[in-house]
Amino acid sequence: MENQHRQILGYRELSQAEVYLMNTVKTQAVQVEALVEAVKRAGEEIDPRWVAIARAHFQEGFMALTRSITRPTTF
């Protein structure tokens, strides 16, 4: 269905500049995820607890960037 976001409470139309920023954030998130996975596979000397913490913080950071662009009106 086209324009589904119009039917979801709290969503709005994004400008072309906002769409560009969203796609940039999403692209960077994919790259950071690949880095986290590479560190995770690096060997036994890597502390998996810290990798998990980094992953969670990166996810939180990218979500914050996404919300800063989209500015949803709901909690």
The per-residue pLDDT for 41 is 95
**Is the pLDDT assigned to residue 1 strictly greater than 80?**
no
The number of folded domains in the chain is 1
Integer Cα distance of 10 and 12 in angstroms? 7
For residue 11, give its domain range.
4-70
**Tens-place pLDDT, residues 8-52:** 888 889 999 999 999 999 999 999 999 999 999 998 899 999 999
Is 11 domain-assigned?
yes
Structural domain includes residue 19: yes
In a domain, 75, yes or no: no
Vertex 74: Cα angle to 72 and 75 (nearest 5): 110
In Å, the largest CA–CA distance within the chain is 49
Structure tokens at 15: 């400008």
Please give the pLDDT value at position 39.
Answer: 97
Q: Is 43 left (phi over 0), alpha (psi -120 to 50) or beta?
A: left
